[in-house]
Amino acid sequence: MTGSQLRDIYTRSLTKRADCPSPEALEALITRAGDEESRLATLDHVMSCVACKQDFELLRAIHAAEQVNTQARTRRSVTPWLAAAVVLVAAGALTVTQLQRPNPTRGSSPSSDIALVGAMNGSLVWRAIPGAVRYDVEIVDASGVTIFHESAADTTAALPKTLPSGSLSWWVRATLRDGSERRSAIIPMR
């Protein structure tokens, strides 16, 4: 006898049995409430009684639908929290990046690795340092807002044609071949 024949014989031989478990016991079986021994006894009856099998499937279908709905709701409720968490982490990372960014207005450990020469013939000029592959020059106003930025491979940057009036300063950041950075002190423009 094959497995499928055995299944066929078993399902055909099912009848309605006596002493059926209560509807609450069927519900407990489906919701996994109560002790395992009781649930196994209920299951043993259900799987050998045509009427209880039918009732079991009815309750099971409702429970399965509720589970699917609950999972979908959980996903929906988690998504805004997840989005908020991502935003917070991103904001935190941005803050850290900004704090680490060399900003002369904060006076954070100014170093004078790069010697600034000054504004000459419409250009800003500074001394080269060994290993530099790029220089970034910035002009900032009195409140620390960058009003001019330019990247250069050599040690000069043409000044913009117009600059706002008021107190202006400038500084240079060099990026070295190994990825590290050096920067100048911030000095007033004359």
Partner 1 sequence: MRIRLWNARGSEQISETGTSYVYKTAASAALDLIRRRRSGLPTESLDVVDAPAPALDPEQSLAATELGRAVDAAVDTIPASRRPVVRMYLMGYPREEIAALMGWTEAKTRNLLYRGLADLREALTARGIGPRTA
Among 18, 19, 32, 180, binds partner 1 (CB under 8 A): 32
| Minimum distance from residue 80 beta carbon to partner 1 (Å) | 17
C-alpha angle 147-151-152 in degrees, rounded to nearest 5? 135
Cα(45)–Cα(53) distance, rounded to whole angstroms? Answer: 9
Q: Which helix (H) or strand (E) holds 23?
A: helix 23-31
By CB under 8 A, residue 13 contacts partner 1:
yes
Number of residues that bind partner 1 (CB under 8 A): 40
Report the site for partner 1 in 151-180 (rule: CB under 8 A).
Answer: none
Among 28, 34, 38, 43, binds partner 1 (CB under 8 A): 43
- The structure tokens 């988690």 sit at 78
Q: Which helix (H) or strand (E) holds 136?
A: strand 132-140
Helix, strand, coil share of the chain (percent; to 5): 45, 25, 30
| Minimum distance from residue 10 beta carbon to partner 1 (Å) | 4
Cα(190)–Cα(110) distance, rounded to whole angstroms? Answer: 20
Q: Residue 96: which residues within 8 A CB-CB, separation 6 or more?
A: none
Q: Which helix (H) or strand (E) holds 68?
A: helix 50-100
Q: Is 54 or 98 the residue whose CB approaches partner 1 more closely?
A: 54
Q: Is 47 or 89 the residue whose CB approaches partner 1 more closely?
A: 47
Amino acid at 36: E
Among 28, 34, 38, 41, binds partner 1 (CB under 8 A): 41
Which span sits near partner 1 by CB under 8 A: 33-41, 107-115, 146-154, 162-170? 33-41
Cα(33)–Cα(26) distance, rounded to whole angstroms? Answer: 10
By CB under 8 A, residue 40 contacts partner 1:
yes
Report the site for partner 1 in 62-81 (rule: CB under 8 A).
Answer: 62-63, 65-66, 69-70, 73
Amino acid at 141: D
By CB under 8 A, residue 24 contacts partner 1:
yes
Which residues are at the interface with partner 1 (CB under 8 A)? 1-2, 5-7, 9-13, 20, 23-24, 26-27, 29-30, 32, 36, 39-41, 43-44, 47-48, 51, 53-55, 57-59, 62-63, 65-66, 69-70, 73
